[in-house]
Amino acid sequence: MKFAKSATLLALSSIMSVAMAGDIKPFDQGAFDKLTQEGKPVVLDINATWCPTCKAQKPIIDGLMKQPAYKDVTLMTLDFDADKPTLKKFKVTMQSTLVAFKGDKEVARSTGDTTPAGLEALVKKTVN
């Protein structure tokens, strides 16, 4: 009986944490356009698999996206080596770049920041 209650509580807490998490998905121009036209907060995460700075940013960004305060933020990832035309459109020249949008307006940009406070400040600008 105790095991069943524990299992149920664990399952419910997992569901709640997913429901309160921001969306993380690969960049898609159509989805980006729809979100920004609707005034939704979006952060572009431009990274490369070989980049140590990108690897340092990832757990911080992933952690931020799990916080209830950022549940409405969509994080869209772009591969620095594969998405060159899209990067040119957004004027991104380096990996480990984050570009934050509040609706269709860019509100913050950061390259190479690996501090939790700096990355949170960038994400926060999309919701305030």
Residue 5 belongs to some domain of the structure: no
Residue 44 belongs to some domain of the structure: yes
Share of the chain above pLDDT 90, in %: 81
User: Is pLDDT at 36 greater than 80 in this prediction?
Assistant: yes
Residue 2 belongs to some domain of the structure: no
CA atoms within 13 A on the CB side of 60: 20
Per-residue pLDDT, 21: 79
Per-residue pLDDT, 108: 97
Mean pLDDT within 88-116? 97
Question: Per-residue pLDDT tens for 70-84?
Answer: 999 999 999 999 999
Residue 15: pLDDT band with limits 50, 70, 90? very low
Structural domain boundaries enclosing 89: 22-124
Are the CB atoms for 57 and 113 separated by under 8 Å?
Answer: yes
Counting the structural domains of the chain, the total is 1
CATH number of the domain enclosing 59 = 3.40.30.10
Residue 6 belongs to some domain of the structure: no
Got the DSSP string for 91-128?
T--SSSEEEEEETTEEEEEEES---HHHHHHHHHTTT-
User: Is pLDDT at 127 greater than 50 in this prediction?
Assistant: yes
Residue 7 belongs to some domain of the structure: no
Per-chain mean pLDDT for the chain? 88
Residue 20: pLDDT band with limits 50, 70, 90? low
